[in-house]
Amino acid sequence: MIRVHEVWEALEAKIPSALQESYDNCGLQVGDSSAVATGVLCCVDVTEAVIQEAIERGANVIIAHHPLLFKGLKRIGTSSYIERCVRLALQHGISIYAAHTSADNAPEGLNYLLARDLGLKQVRVLEPSPNLLVELVTFVPRAHTEAVSAALWEAGAGRLGAYDSCSYRSQGEGTFRALDGAQPFVGQVGTLHREQEDRLSVVLPAYLQSRVEEALLRSHPYETPAYSFVGLQNQDRTTGSGIIGDLPEPLPLRTFLSEVESYFHTRQLRYSVTTKECVSRVALCGGAGAFLWRKARALGADIFITGEAKYNDYFDCEGAPVLVTVGHYESERIASQLFAQVISEKIANFAVYQSELDSNPITVL
């Protein structure tokens, strides 16, 4: 029996809501997290039609890319689609969860899938997120270093890019004297004790600090272990906005634009005026990502693909890189595939659906 919270916790393991931008509202939007989950419907937007689709499929969990609730509601009536969606979801016991900029920023998230589908190689984050890493330093009696390290790694520490189980260890001698009331693991009360210890250091995402601290206290043999968490200025180069990578071989601009148009199933592809004839390095960001075009230029991108841009953005970039917009919805349609894939990998034998509805609010002739 799967609970609602287990569904979104499975998604959180891969797409932590802690990675969302400050303005966003990812996470549980509506519903009872302790209810039994009967199935999940993945979508881009929550609409009344999407909720009805979930009802018909017997799924009482909806995972959406765009949050239904961005601002607080003063009433839950019928005057807006948001109010009507909340009412309908509550009436039918449906929980709604959103993974928006968390899915954009996550390693192997939405932008990574777009880059993969477009055939980009040597992909990397376009604008890495700053101040997301902390370092844990602790001191462990040498015979227990491996067990403590394993517990910290299991909790999510020691992962750097495409590597895990990362740590640094140096040997030394620790001293302490247990006072009255203490129950020391080694040494005697009232006697200065010297112990051969390892200084163990691991790096972890800041949002995992509580989990890693619990793992440390659970696995460390000392009654009162010494440890510290220190914030790092390092950029987490696996996490952040946008993706940049290289095509296997240069392509004529018009050929690549045709491939982009076909892949995104768009009828509104637009691009800036340019003299560029071929493209090799491609940057992209789903949704409203035009703010990244300067970063794309600095990293040598020939072309930058996003969902939408302002009129002046096409002027300002001066065709370097070529600014391409394919439509906001079109650029993020892949979100439902991402969510379904993550949940199916984490929870076996559970009904996971991708919405078959086109919730794009923009109609093109």
Specify binding-site residues for a divalent metal cation. 65-66, 104, 328, 332
Count of beta carbons in the 10 Å neighbourhood of residue 279: 23
Cα(145)–Cα(156) distance, rounded to whole angstroms? 17
Per the structure block, which two tokens stand in for 203?
């790096």
Is the Cβ–Cβ distance between 148 and 220 less than 8 Å? yes
Strands 303-306 and 352-354, by their bridges, are: unpaired
Is the Cβ–Cβ distance between 231 and 162 less than 8 Å? no
Per the structure block, which two tokens stand in for 336?
């439902």
Q: At what angle do helices 48-57 and 81-91 cross, to 10 degrees?
A: 20
Cα(2)–Cα(350) distance, rounded to whole angstroms? 8
Order of strands across the sheet that contains 352-354: 27-30, 95-98, 61-64, 40-43, 352-354
Binding residues: 65-66, 104, 328, 332
Beta strands in the chain (DSSP E): 27-30, 40-43, 61-64, 95-98, 121-129, 133-141, 168-177, 192-205, 227-231, 236-252, 270-271, 278-285, 303-306, 322-325, 352-354
Q: Give the burial class of 11: count Cβ atoms within 10 A of its Cβ; 0-12 exposed, 13-18 middle, 19 or more buried.
A: buried
CB contact set of 42 (below 8 Å; sequence gap of 6+): 62, 63, 64, 335, 336, 337, 339, 340, 343, 352, 353, 354, 355
Going by C-alpha positions, the residue among 113, 66, 111, 116 that lies closest to residue 284 is: 111
